[in-house]
Chain A
Amino acid sequence: DAGVIQSPRHEVTEMGQEVTLRCKPISGHNSLFWYRQTMMRGLELLIYFNNNVPIDDSGMPEDRFSAKMPNASFSTLKIQPSEPRDSAVYFCASSFHRGASNQPQHFGDGTRLSIL
């Protein structure tokens, strides 16, 4: 079975440019999560969706960040304009949510973003 698919795997761009990260969750999963991982701050939750609806975006750093989930099989995380401090590995994860139980999250292999 295909896991969570993220693209691109690597992105290098200059500050001020728009960056779009893409994620395809596991088929049948109804929850999708965007995380950012850095050496200094570890793995941080940015935003998550249930049934394509954003539930908690309190981790989004600022208005330069936005995320969408137009359908159950696709999500984007956009940074505009990008800044060097946005450099990190961005992970997408999906899970099948039912009730209050905590289901395992399945992570993609991440997008390594470098803003020059």
Chain B
Amino acid sequence: TQLLEQSPQFLSIQEGENLTVYCNSSSVFSSLQWYRQEPGEGPVLLVTVVTGGEVKKLKRLTFQFGDARKDSSLHITAAQTGDTGLYLCAGAERAQKLVFGQGTRLTINP
């Protein structure tokens, strides 16, 4: 089974700051997804990246897939308190079967 490592595991910053979360593996994935999970709820898909080097933007969130399709990053610009949550990356081991990272628990302080 392929493994995904996320860093940092915990991040607490002030509103308005920028941050980057990383998702790394020694294995190649056919695609990678990012989810956000809030307490008491299931993960919700933010984005899927498929092509090596691909960059996708979702308002203040920028997602990048590494050229070799082994790693990904999530950058948040001017973080807001509403960005607080658990961010999970998930690699497609093969069609449909996802391997999840441990998650980054992000807290944005007002």
Size of the chain B interface, CB-CB below 8 angstroms:
22
**Contact (Cβ within 8 A) A100 B95:** yes
Q: Which of B41-49, B51-59, B71-79 contacts the other chain?
A: B41-49
On whether the beta carbons of A31 and B100 are closer than 8 Å, the reply is no
The one of B33, B40, B44, B101 in contact with A42, judged by C-beta atoms closer than 8 angstroms, is B101
Q: Does B21 contact A (CB under 8 A)?
A: no
How many residue pairs between the two chains, A and B, have CB atoms under 8 Å in the bound complex?
Answer: 56
- Closest A residue, CB atoms, query B103: A42
User: Secondary structure of the B side of the interface?
Assistant: loop
Additional A-B contacts beyond A97-B96, A104-B33, A107-B42 (18; CB < 8 A)? A33-B96, A42-B101, A42-B102, A43-B43, A43-B88, A45-B97, A91-B43, A93-B42, A97-B95, A99-B95, A100-B95, A102-B30, A102-B31, A102-B48, A102-B92, A104-B48, A105-B98, A107-B43
